[in-house]
Amino acid sequence: MSLNHDVIGVESEPVEKSWTSKDTLLYAVGVGAGLDDPTRELAFTTENSADVRQQVLPTFAVLAAQGARGRDLGDFDRAMLVHAEQEFRLHRPLPPAGTVRITSKVTGIYDKGSGALVVSEALAVDPDSAEPMITSRSSVFIRGEGGFGGARGPGSDWKVPDVPPDHEVTYRTRPEQALIYRLSGDRNPLHSDPAFAARAGFDRPILHGLCTYGVTGRALLHTLAGSDPARFAAMSGRFSAPVFPGESLTVSMWVDGDTAMFRTAKQDGTVVIDRGTATIDPG
């Protein structure tokens, strides 16, 4: 088994991706919107509530920018692949239903010793005007594919501030959260099939990293942006530990102007999203 390094820098053919009001509503419920109090977050979970206009959770941008596929990454065991990092920038708020044209490419494959880090970037534009709507960057870690002698990749100077967080918010997840979230498109059996999860070293299916990311994004949106998606410009974070459906997540936030640093942790203190940053427009 080996990765195909020739894919680096090769841009995919453009593809169009559309979504409906139902897709954005389902995504919101899939990342926990309305849990505990169905009358909260109605702007994201309903389209016909009195005096409430449907809006889209900013983290849906990650799903909206997926779809383009470049050249084959190579031959490897898909059970050894985990989502490592995710970043997006919204160039304008997303509509409840819409279409984008997407191109993507692998920007680097880095040797981490025990595995390989594959970094990709996607650009989603308005198909009519070609104006950018979403820039998305992500990386996956593939265990067992390192040791090829390549560069380790760029470092990061992110560190936990030496002051208490300005905000801490705790959201719980449902025991069946992964079964709901998978209906938004990620049918990886790691999140539903106990036998597949066991191959990856887990005693039961784990929650999608992007579901944890979406729960975190809700906390940032409501705490820092006044629940206004138009103020939510960008978000990035590194997945550092698995989450099991039903666990609660606490998001700690340190605010500096229009930038916030954050970490998401389980109730036992295990950090599950690390090195987080978000950009919030003042409004």
Residue 117 belongs to domain with CATH number = 3.10.129.10
In a domain, 54, yes or no: yes
pLDDT at 68: 63
Looking at the predicted structure, is the pLDDT value of residue 21 above 60? Answer: yes
Inter-residue contact 148 to 76 (CB < 8 Å): no
191 is catalytic: yes
- Domain range for 85 is 2-147+157-280
Looking at the predicted structure, is the pLDDT value of residue 178 above 90? Answer: yes
In a domain, 152, yes or no: no
First to last CA, the chain: 50
Structure token digits, residue 149: 């002698």
Q: List the single range of 48-57, 196-205, 219-228 with lowest mean pLDDT.
A: 196-205
Ramachandran region of residue 254, left (φ > 0), alpha (ψ -120 to 50) or beta?
Answer: beta
Residues in a beta bridge with 251 = 169, 264
Q: How far apart are CA 272 and CA 124, in angstroms?
A: 28
Model confidence pTM above 0.95: no
In a domain, 123, yes or no: yes
pLDDT at 71: 61
pLDDT band at 164 (very low <50, low <70, confident <90, very high): very high
pLDDT mean over 159-184 = 97
Among 23, 191, 208, 274, which one carries the catalytic annotation?
191
User: Alpha carbon of 91 to those of 135, 179, 229, 259, 281: distances in Å?
Assistant: 8, 31, 12, 16, 12
Q: List the single range of 11-20, 52-61, 138-147, 180-189 with lowest mean pLDDT.
A: 138-147
What is the H or E stretch that residue 104 is in? strand 98-111
Q: How many domains does the chain fold into? A: 1
In a domain, 238, yes or no: yes
pLDDT at 72: 76
Residues written for the chain: 283
pLDDT band at 6 (very low <50, low <70, confident <90, very high): confident
Q: How many secondary structure helices (H) and strands (E) does the chain include?
A: 6, 12
Among 23, 83, 186, 274, which one carries the catalytic annotation?
186
Residue 34 gets which letter from DSSP? T
186 is catalytic: yes
pLDDT mean over 196-212 = 94
In angstroms, how far is CA 3 from the centroid of its own chain? Answer: 24
- Cα four-point dihedral sign 221, 43, 214, 118: negative
Tell the residue number behind the tokens 């936990």, with chain if given.
160
Closest CA to 218 of 240, 235, 243, 201: 235
pLDDT over 70 percentage in the chain: 98
In a domain, 164, yes or no: yes
